[in-house]
Amino acid sequence: MNLEVVAAFLISNYKTISMKPRVVLPILLISVIVISGCVEEQEPVTEIYVPGHGNQIYAFHNDIRESLKVPVNNPEGIKALAAVSNGMYLVFDGSNPQDNAYFTIVTTEITQKISTYYSYEGRLFGFMPYYHIGSQWYDSGGKEINKPDFSGPVMWLLGPSTGANDTSVTLVNSTVYISGTSYNNLTLAGDKFVLLIFGIDRV
């Protein structure tokens, strides 16, 4: 018996049922059983294997199905950009301590997964981090430098307090902006970027 049949029976026999309380309870029980059977919560999918990568397990921060929903303006362009490069500049605004903490976690997960992925593909792929506070730029060691000349692909992170207006992965010229309006949204966008590189668009 499906839910539509139960609903139709209840409507068509409303008056009869309302005068017979003993009939109501079994019907309600049937309805609850049908509904509970239809609504079965799915377990989160947070790990994947990539063919040819041995026993390597790639574990993600979020349910991969949720990360795949993050909008991307040019997925093929992003994949092509990474495919012809041996690395990316990694850039963020370092003016907000809370966002800095988010960036540390997100970039660690991104760089470890992508570097491991490409090592199995027989390629070296590295990341060169830079950050700025206002107009002053810094290298990964915190040394003041002039603004770098980004001559290759750039991965630019935008956090809730450092420029994120939405949650997305956006390619503009040779810069990929990974944007999240909260910590969770930033991790979703980061996972989406990794899945793009892996060539995964469904699970």
> What does the domain layout of the chain look like in residue ranges?
3-38, 66-198
Q: Is the pLDDT of residue 23 over 80?
A: no
- Strands 175-179 and 168-172 turn out to be antiparallel
Dihedral sign (CA 162, 173, 104, 169) = positive
Counted residue by residue, the chain has a size of 203
Among 97, 105, 84, 89, residue whose Cα is nearest residue 191: 105
**Residue 37 in tokens:** 């059977």
Q: What is the architecture of the domain spanning 66-198? A: 2-Layer Sandwich (3.30)
Global pTM reads 0.80
| Model confidence pLDDT, tens digit, residues 100-144 | 999 999 999 999 999 999 999 999 999 999 999 999 999 999 999
For 137-168, write each residue's pLDDT tens digit.
999 999 999 999 999 999 999 999 999 999 99
The torsion of the CA quartet 174, 179, 185, 187, rounded to 10 degrees, works out to 50
